[in-house]
Chains A and B, each alone.
Chain A
Amino acid sequence: MTVEQTKNLTGSAHYKARSLRRILILSGMTIALFLSFAVDLATGPANYPLRDVIFALLNPSDVSDQLRVVIWEIRMPVALMALTVGAALSTAGAQMQTILANPLASPFTLGISAAAGFGAAMALVLGVAILPAFVEFIIPINAFIMAMATALIIHFFSRMRGVTVETIVLLGIALVFTFNALLALLQYLASEQALAAVVFWTMGSLVKATWSKVAITAIAVAIALPLFTRQAWALTALRLGDAKAESFGVNVQSLRLKTMLLVSLLAAIPVSFVGTIGFIGLVGPHIARMLVGEDQRFFLPASVLCGALILSATSVLSKLIIPGAILPIGVITALVGVPFFFSLIFASRRKSW
């Protein structure tokens, strides 16, 4: 379309075209996600043709026992964990960036992941349960409580007068260092067995995924997404600044607090199960924003899909780099995600933030 034609379009025609493009982008991402998921299931010590995997997905009873067991019982929880964890972290990052008006906000950069990590390590090393009633879920509950406490610290700090975007990032860095130091202290005190668990866990790995972990992560996402969707207009309005959002009738304070609590849930649950997987929460929403903008009706699903897709693709990569070995996924997200992210920033001439 030429510039002249664009000029003659009415605003609504332009908006409709843009919405259609966004729906196509979201559809494309969904297809890519399904493919990545299938490839993830097909890849491993024994590689299966993609066709067999998709067939096994659709008709589990019609395939050989061996294929069914490998796909459905061994690889499926890991592959689903990649999707749910990626979705949860990316959504958490997207909403943190929205409510803090900060492009650097993510569970990882502001110390929420580190806090959750420390909470989980408390359980692993010391056996300390913050809520003694639920000992079975001691690791995720500890992680969640620490993450929530940290999210609240950031929330109330960000509400103080004179606090800027930069000071929030500085506070986040301080929190990351604090919790990492506390984590190091726990590692120092830990027994050899607990130490191995903590170290494995700080690198971030999907391989210990189980159906119940997948279910809990999926439930966290399933709780958060409808609540965010209901607030889609209000959350988008936050990006116009507090004064404007308030003038639109948005209860800015309450929306921020509720969102922060949901974010800490979304950030803590994955961290307690799969360890610290960085950058998804930062990069996922940025890619989503470049693709579909910041209207939450599109931005939210795009962030979910981006996070899930990135982690799923990384899961495939973690099995391919050294055949026969599965590298810790947290290492790969950092090593691969960051250059990819930079290439996107430099490639996109449109200014985001």
Chain B
Amino acid sequence: MVTLRLEDLGTRYGRTYVVSGVTTPVLTGGGLTAVIGPNAAGKSSLFKRIAGLAKGTGQVHVETQDYNRNTICYMPQDTGSNAVLSVYESVILAAKQGSSLRVRADELTRIDDILAALRISDLAARNLGELSGGQRQLVAIAQTLIRDPKILLMDEPTSALDLHRQMEVLTFMRNIAQNRKMIVLIAIHDLNHALHYCDHALAIANGKMVTFGRSEDVINRDLLRDVYQVDGEVEHNSLGQRHIVLRGTVTGSKDTNLMAAQ
């Protein structure tokens, strides 16, 4: 069992703080936590700070039995690669960092299993340069899961996926978080997905934490207005699920200013 608690976490880029004052209660494994907020709110910077890839203020408290280099894994937004490496090799690469040059048979089996679980076995022999954006994201997920993290920080893992694949990946991640008792933080733009798949949500705007709580408590009319500058409502749809209904952007927001300028 793993727990994670963030205490007054901050990081800066040059002299300006891009994230500051992020504090959470103790998070336990077993479900997904959405990290939501507008573009450039500091979601990626927060993830890098938690993963130890960016220096800064505050504390990351992790409790687990065997802490190692793969305990916290950060999955960055995919940038693509023109390397002459196959998908399979790129997953080996993720698994083998810092260990021997020899790849064991059981490691190969694990990779086969993960590719099969993500339904990308047929991509194994393809070169990275030949993949579409969505395929690259699935490969990136495989590269992350092969490291068997306890705490997983996923930076917009579904942004390039079609609707079917988005739902598939989120369901898959939710199951894997439950089965492996992992803490999974997912930066995500689709608030309906956040409501549907994530137990908790952490909202940040302008590098500051706005709120943390259960998704249905965090994602509401106030959040839409204050954080996203949109006029909307969270309603129940015909299936009884929470669902966002949008009326438009809020006057005085970035978008309307843009329209006025034109």
Query: Could you say which residues of chain B place their CB within 8 Å of the CB of A229?
Result: 101
* B212 close to chain A: CB less than 8 A: no
Task: Give Cα A290 to B96, complex, Å.
Answer: 24
A294 within 8 Å of B by Cβ? yes
Q: Which residues of chain B are near A243, meaning CB under 8 Å?
A: 76-77, 79
Please tell me the size bucket of the interface on A: 35 or more
Chain B residues, CB < 8 A from A351: 82, 127, 129
- In chain B, positions 39-80 with a C-beta closer than 8 Å to chain A are 51, 53, 69-70, 73-77, 79-80
Q: Are A11 and B88 in contact (CB under 8 A)?
A: yes
A213 to chain B, nearest CB (A): 32
CA of A62 to CA of B124, assembled, Å: 55
When chains A and B are docked, how far (Å) is the Cα of A237 from the Cα of B75? 14
Asked if A15 CB lies within 8 Å of chain B CBs, one says: yes
Q: Is the interface of A mostly helix, strand, loop or mixed?
A: helix
Contact of B74 with A247 in the complex, beta carbons under 8 Å: yes
Question: Is B79 in contact with A250, judged by CB distance below 8 angstroms?
Answer: no
Cα distance, A247 to B81, chains bound together (Å): 15
CA distance A6 to B82 in the complex (A): 23
Cross-chain contact B97 with A249 (CB below 8 angstroms): yes
Q: Does the CB pair A295–B89 fall under 8 Å?
A: yes
CB-defined contacts of A240 to chain B, threshold 8 Å = 81, 83, 85, 90, 93, 128
Q: A247-B51, A247-B53, A351-B129 are in contact. Are A237 and B121 (CB under 8 A)?
A: no
Q: How far is the CB of A234 from chain B (nearest CB, A)?
A: 7
Binding stretch for chain A, among B105-113, B190-198, B250-258: B105-113
CA distance A18 to B77 in the complex (A): 29
Give chain B residues whose Cβ lies under 8 Å from the Cβ of A250: 97
Q: Does B115 contact A (CB under 8 A)?
A: yes
Closest Cβ–Cβ distance, residue B15 to chain A (whole Å):
14
Given contacts A11-B115, A15-B92, A15-B108, contact A249 B85 (CB under 8 A): no
- Inside 8 A of A241's CB, which chain B residues have their CB? 79-81
Scan A269-302; emit 1 where CB is below 8 A from any B CB, else 0: 0000000000000000000011001110100000
B249 within 8 A of A: no
Q: Flag if B79 contacts A237 (CB, 8 Å).
A: no
Residues of A contacting B122 in the complex (Cβ-Cβ under 8 angstroms): 7
- How far does the Cβ of A9 sit from chain B's closest Cβ, in whole Å? 8
Q: Decide: A15 and B81 in contact? CB cutoff 8 A.
A: no
**Residues from chain A with Cβ under 8 Å of B80 in the complex:** 241
Question: Within 8 Å of chain A (Cβ to Cβ): is B94?
Answer: yes
Which of A11, A16, A240, A293 gathers the greatest number of chain B CB atoms within 10 Å?
A11
Chain B CB within 8 A of A134 CB: no
* Known contacts A14-B88, A243-B76; A294/B94 CB under 8 A: no
Q: Is the CB of A239 within 8 A of B97?
A: no
Measured in the bound complex, the distance between the Cα atoms of B96 and A236 in whole Å is 11
Minimum C-beta distance from A323 to chain B (A): 41
Cross-chain contact of B111 among A11, A232, A353 (Cβ < 8 A): A11
B3 within 8 A of A: no
> Bound complex: CA of A18 vs CA of B140, how far in Å?
22
A352 adjacent to chain B (CB < 8 Å): yes
Q: Is A244 touching B85 in the complex (CB atoms < 8 A)?
A: no
Interface positions of B from 166 to 207, Cβ below 8 Å from A:
none
Least distance between B58 CB and chain A CB atoms (Å): 20
Chain B residues positioned under 8 Å from A14 (CB to CB): 86, 88, 124-125
CB distance from A232 to the nearest CB of B (A): 6
Docked-complex contact A15 and B84, CB < 8 angstroms = no
Residues of A within 8 A of B121 (CB): 10-11
Contact with B along A209-246 (1 / 0, CB 8 A): 00000000000000000000100111011011101101
Contact B76 A244 (CB under 8 A): yes
Cross-chain contact B81 with A239 (CB below 8 angstroms): yes
What separation, in Å, do the CA atoms of A330 and B170 have in the docked complex?
58
Which of A7, A18, A240 has the most B CB atoms < 10 Å from its CB? A240
Task: Give the residue name and chain of the B residue nearest to A18 (CB).
Answer: B86
The answer, yes or no, to whether B98 is at the interface (CB within 8 Å) is yes
Closest to B115 in A: A11
How far is B108's CA from A269's CA once the two chains are assembled, in angstroms?
A: 41
Contact B98 A249 (CB under 8 A): yes
- A11→B111 CA distance, assembly (Å): 8
A250 to B97, CA, bound (A): 8
Task: Report the minimum CB–CB distance from A225 to chain B (whole Å).
Answer: 13
B53, B74, B84: residue with the most chain A Cβ atoms closer than 10 Å: B84
B125 A239 Cβ-Cβ under 8 A: no
Taken together as a complex, chains A and B put the C-alpha atoms of A294 and B127 apart, in Å, by 11
Q: Which 3 residue pairs spanning A and B have beta carbons closest together?
A: A11-B124, A239-B83, A12-B108
A-B contact pairs, 16 of them (CB 8 A): A7-B122, A11-B111, A11-B112, A12-B111, A14-B86, A15-B88, A232-B101, A237-B97, A240-B83, A244-B79, A247-B75, A248-B94, A249-B98, A293-B84, A297-B101, A350-B84
- 7 extra interchain contacts, Cβ-Cβ under 8 A, other than A12-B109, A351-B127? A11-B88, A11-B121, A233-B93, A237-B97, A244-B143, A249-B97, A289-B84
